[in-house]
Amino acid sequence: MEKDSDLLNKKKTVQISVTDKDGKEHPIDVETEMVPVGHEINYQTENEWWSKDPETGKVYAPIPEHYALHFQELQARMKSGPPLTENENRVYEALKVVLQELPVFAADNAYNAQPNASSLESIEHETKKRTNRTRKKDYVDTSLTKHISLIIDQEYESGLSLRKSGSAYLTPLESTDGLNYDANTGKLYFEGVPVSEAKLEEISRGKVVEIGEFDLPLLKLFYSIILADIKNTINQNQYAINESFTIYLPDLAELMGKGRNLSDNDIIMLRNKTGAFQTIYGIIRDPKYPKRIGSALPLLVSLGYDDTTNTIRFSSPYMLRLIQTLYNVKVRQSKLNLNKITEPAKFLISEHTDIIYTSIAKERNKRAVEIVFAIVTMIEQSTDENVCITVRDIFDRSPQLVEALNNTIRTANKNTLLKRAFSKAYELLEKKTTLKEHYPYMVFSEELLGIPTVSTLNEMKLHFIKKK
């Protein structure tokens, strides 16, 4: 995850989307630089507050100097104390959003500004047009997403996990400096050189990245939304897959089981969690040559937040490649052809399980949710009626749980962590999945399954009856 201190870096390369004369969108990389100024700026109403170098294309974004200074002060307080008040914490998170998104906002304005947008009236007119857009036309239809689409294909099950296993997995970086994605070639570059799995390992060698704050349940929800959108495209006999996705935040909140009326803090939280994914990269290997070094792609590229429509917009080169790879594997196994699919609703159905409700994404106990994902994956992969899962197998699929346990010092505290995580996981298996509907003999009681402790981790097993 990008360190908060890195947000103060003045020079950044950002990715935005531009529209060509045919109305097609294309992502491009733009060099930006934040320039401290001694006055306030109204970014929503001031005309051309940014500047663009006509020769290099570099965009300069002015930022009130006291923003960065106040952010640094609050950051120092968080490290050495005294603790921030509730109001100071809100200010800190708001400044964090500004520092994250101002370069993208400036670049988007500089490259996509309307030629006639030289007056306040024209800007207000354009804003009104954007506000009145219909959701069905411009936003992803999240009503198509009913459950979390969990990958159960054994070779690619770690595709949305920080577990380094199989032919696809995620790897976080401390910094993204020097990395650029070229949408035209579909490749990631580091200082002009194509990046492979080995190069990413070289870049991250010796650097420890804390992974506990990454909201992987939210990431799996994004993946499920993208997969549902692709299925819908195929169902309508269209084969031009969307490459970027605009999501109405109240729709996203509803999927997560939250209320549709989001507070400013809720919006900031969702934007920060989405922005954090930009420091994660996906590794994926060619299914034809699984032993070769894999390709590296950005997990998620944020294309900005629009406060007039309350939407976030992003692209995901990695998740699209992952879905395409799963499909290619399916084609070779079943001899299907995308243009001849007679039952689009079954597209990639055997590679996923749709058993977990999307509302699991709002759960605060993320380690319990991680356990649920691991258990459901192994239950669905098993062909036995009596499924035996070792706790060690669960830990193997739960790197954030492992990190949390390793960061807990005393044995008593470790056991408390395990108690809270597994007890909540059993509750979620009962309430947030449809396992009982599929397998009525399955039981999730703590008394029957038991709770692991530090001393029983390596030997304990969980038993589930997978009988319809």
Q: Tell whether 190 and 267 lie within a shared domain.
A: yes
Q: Tell whether 280 and 167 lie within a shared domain.
A: yes
| pLDDT tens per residue, range 426-441 | 999 999 999 999 999 9
- Whether 216 shows a pLDDT value over 90: the answer reads yes
Q: Tell whether 236 and 304 lie within a shared domain.
A: yes
**pLDDT class for 121, splitting at 50, 70, 90?**
very low
Q: Tell whether 220 and 270 lie within a shared domain.
A: yes
Are 158 and 326 in contact, with CB atoms under 8 Å apart?
Answer: no
User: What is residue 218's predicted lDDT score, i.e. its pLDDT?
Assistant: 95
User: What is residue 342's predicted lDDT score, i.e. its pLDDT?
Assistant: 47
Kindly give, in sequence order, each residue whose CB lies less than 8 Å from that of residue 261, ignoring residues fewer than 6 positions away.
Answer: 250
Q: How far apart are CA 234 and CA 345, in angstroms?
A: 9
Q: How far apart are CA 307 and CA 340, in angstroms?
A: 41
Q: Tell whether 334 and 391 lie within a shared domain.
A: no
Q: Which domain holds residue 197?
A: 133-362
Q: Tell whether 148 and 122 lie within a shared domain.
A: no
Q: Tell whether 128 and 138 lie within a shared domain.
A: no
| pLDDT tens per residue, range 88-101 | 777 888 788 778 78
Which of 132, 157, 186 is where one domain is finished?
A: 132
More confident residue, 193 or 425: 425
Which of 72, 97, 132 is where one domain is finished?
A: 132
CA torsion angle for 363, 367, 371, 376 (degrees, to 10)?
30
- Whether 3 shows a pLDDT value over 60: the answer reads no
State the total domains in the chain: 3
Token pair 């950044």 in the structure block, residue: 12
- Whether 41 shows a pLDDT value over 80: the answer reads no
| pLDDT tens per residue, range 354-395 | 999 999 999 999 999 999 999 999 999 999 999 999 999 999
| pLDDT tens per residue, range 4-38 | 555 666 677 877 777 766 666 677 888 888 877 76
Q: Please give the helix or strand (H or E) that residue 67 lies within, else none.
A: helix 65-80
Which of 299, 331, 362 is where one domain is finished?
A: 362
Q: Tell whether 128 and 258 lie within a shared domain.
A: no
Q: Tell whether 151 and 261 lie within a shared domain.
A: yes
User: What is residue 390's predicted lDDT score, i.e. its pLDDT?
Assistant: 97
Kindly give, in sequence order, each residue whose CB lies less than 8 Å from that of residue 37, ignoring residues fewer than 6 positions away.
Answer: 62, 63, 64, 65
Mean pLDDT (the chain, rounded): 82
User: What is residue 421's predicted lDDT score, i.e. its pLDDT?
Assistant: 96
User: What is residue 62's predicted lDDT score, i.e. its pLDDT?
Assistant: 82
Q: Tell whether 381 and 320 lie within a shared domain.
A: no
Q: How far apart are CA 370 and CA 145, in angstroms?
A: 20
Q: Tell whether 128 and 166 lie within a shared domain.
A: no
The string of DSSP codes covering 399-425 is: HHHHHHHHT--SHHHHHHHHHHHHHHH
Q: Tell whether 296 and 148 lie within a shared domain.
A: yes
